[in-house]
Amino acid sequence: MRVVFFGTPDFAVPTLLNLLDRSEFEVLAVVTQPDKRRHRGNKVTPSPVKEVACAHSLTVLQPQKIKKDPEVLELLRQFEADIFVVVAYGQILSQEILDIPAQGCINVHGSILPKYRGAAPIQWSLYNGESETGITTMLMDAGMDTGGMLMKATTPIGLLDNTQDLAQKLAASGADLLVETLLKLEKKEIQAIDQNDSEATYAPLIKKEDYQLDWSVGALQLHNQIRAFYPNCNTIFREQPLKVTATIPFCTNFDGEVPSEMEEIQQKLPKLPEVSPKPGEVFSIIKGKGPVVQTGDGLLLLYQVQLPGKRPQSGWDFVNGCRLKVGEILGPNS
């Protein structure tokens, strides 16, 4: 099967590698986003998918706007591909592009469709406290993740999983599911099933305001926000920004098994005083772990944080380095 692969981030790499490892497929070319400034140092670097493509001496196309690039469209036609595979490419494909390959375009989407259509399904499934998600392979159409579904694979979400953890699990699952999907398509063993639009939910692009922590909401909601938008959620500490990158919630309003590390830490919590602390107030400090902050509903252990210009550090190192004291307040009114 002759394949052109569209993808950009780390999430797409396992699928590309899986295709390259299988003799049933010939990867003709890779289409990825243009090089851009990334990571520390702000150097112009290629996408993770481009790095893999170059290591395998593949043809790489990097259009700024693929729908408006006639040269790239002509090249895509000249490949005479059987199928296009799309995994987190980052640009919307026009109907003209979708019509090029003989057997259509297959997308590997990071949710169980029709839930979480859109750009950030992994993040929003965590934000909403889902206990499981998964991968759906689908035949693409001109809509936003509205095409016919081919195969699905579910993945449980642990209470302490963040976006990075979950993306790694789903990337591996998607790589296997894509190969299985293509092989079954070739043998005509599966057919696309229409989505039920009435059951659809959406996962829009993440905005800067989604990173702001409001200590008046519940501990579990804050925990889900922090792990969903890892590593970017922030608050104010001593009039300076502070990123909160990992937490452990102490509350009763979640389903599923409590991780053993949570049970161990919870036993070290002192009893709440008669007068409840204010939301954002450091209620206690657990030796070797970090500060416990009062929220609008429940307590939240700051397990890992990051000060401006510093590397991420454990909550306990943060306590010692800043000489943090019980009673200090996090947030805009600190």
CATH number of the CATH domain containing 287: 3.10.25.10
- Say if residue 271 is in the same domain as residue 199: no
Tell me what percent of the residues of the chain surpass a pLDDT of 70: 93
68 is written with which tokens? 């408006």
Residue 329 domain-assigned (yes or no) = no
Q: Is the pLDDT of residue 223 over 60?
A: yes
**pLDDT value at position 276?**
73
Tell me what percent of the residues of the chain surpass a pLDDT of 90: 85
Q: How confident is the model at residue 290 (pLDDT cuts 50, 70, 90)?
A: very high
Residue 334 domain-assigned (yes or no) = no
DSSP assignment of 28-95 equals EEEE-PPPEEETTTTEEE--HHHHHHHHTT-EEE--SSGGG-HHHHHHHHHTT-SEEEEES-SSPPPH
* 315-327 pLDDT, tens digit each: 999 999 999 999 9
- Say if residue 69 is in the same domain as residue 162: yes
* 199-208 pLDDT, tens digit each: 999 999 999 9
**pLDDT value at position 90?**
93
SS3 110: coil
* 24-44 pLDDT, tens digit each: 999 999 999 999 877 666 788
**pLDDT value at position 211?**
98
- Say if residue 121 is in the same domain as residue 190: yes
- Say if residue 172 is in the same domain as residue 118: yes
- Domain final position from 154, 175, 203: 203
- How many helices (H) and strands (E) are present in the chain, helices listed first? 9, 17
Residue 80 domain-assigned (yes or no) = yes
Q: Is the pLDDT of residue 103 over 90?
A: yes
**pLDDT value at position 10?**
97
**pLDDT value at position 277?**
84
**pLDDT value at position 248?**
92
* C-alpha torsion angle, residues 49, 53, 54, 57 (rounded to 10): 180
Closest to 146 (Cα-Cα) out of 103, 73, 92, 66: 92
Q: Is the pLDDT of residue 92 over 90?
A: yes
Cβ contacts of residue 230 below 8 Å, gap of 6+?
Answer: 162, 163, 164, 245, 246
Closest to 291 (Cα-Cα) out of 317, 252, 273: 317
DSSP assignment of 296-321 equals SBSEEEEEEEE-TTS--EEHHHHHHH
DSSP assignment of 192-204 equals -B---GGG--EEP
* 291-303 pLDDT, tens digit each: 999 999 989 999 9
- Say if residue 193 is in the same domain as residue 219: no
Q: Name the binding residues for (6S)-5,6,7,8-tetrahydrofolate.
A: 111-114
- Say if residue 166 is in the same domain as residue 239: no
Q: Is the pLDDT of residue 185 over 70?
A: yes
- Domain final position from 165, 181, 203: 203
**pLDDT value at position 151?**
98
Residue 226 domain-assigned (yes or no) = yes
Q: Is the pLDDT of residue 4 over 60?
A: yes
Q: Is the pLDDT of residue 220 over 60?
A: yes
- Say if residue 153 is in the same domain as residue 261: no
Residue 125 domain-assigned (yes or no) = yes
Q: Is the pLDDT of residue 256 over 60?
A: no
Q: Is the pLDDT of residue 45 over 60?
A: yes
Query: What share of residues in the chain are helix, strand, coil (percent, to 5)?
Result: 30, 30, 45
CB distance 113 to 151 below 8 Å: no
Domain count, the chain: 2
Q: What is the mean pLDDT of the chain?
A: 93
pTM for this one?
Answer: 0.92
What are the two backbone dihedrals, phi and then psi, of residue 41, each rounded to the nearest 5 degrees?
90, -15
* 149-158 pLDDT, tens digit each: 999 999 999 9
- The CA R_g of the chain, rounded to the nearest whole Å, is 23
Cβ contacts of residue 226 below 8 Å, gap of 6+?
Answer: 162, 213, 233, 244, 245, 246, 247
Residue 217 domain boundaries? 209-322
Residue 327 domain-assigned (yes or no) = no
* C-alpha torsion angle, residues 302, 304, 306, 307 (rounded to 10): 50
* 55-69 pLDDT, tens digit each: 999 999 999 999 999
Q: Is the pLDDT of residue 254 over 60?
A: no
Count, residues in the chain: 334
- Domain final position from 144, 179, 203: 203
The CATH number covering residue 172 comes to 3.40.50.170
Q: Name the binding residues.
A: 111-114
CB distance 122 to 167 below 8 Å: yes
Q: How confident is the model at residue 332 (pLDDT cuts 50, 70, 90)?
A: confident
Residue 330 domain-assigned (yes or no) = no
Q: Is the pLDDT of residue 334 over 70?
A: no
- Say if residue 182 is in the same domain as residue 224: no
CB distance 278 to 199 below 8 Å: no
- Say if residue 160 is in the same domain as residue 44: yes
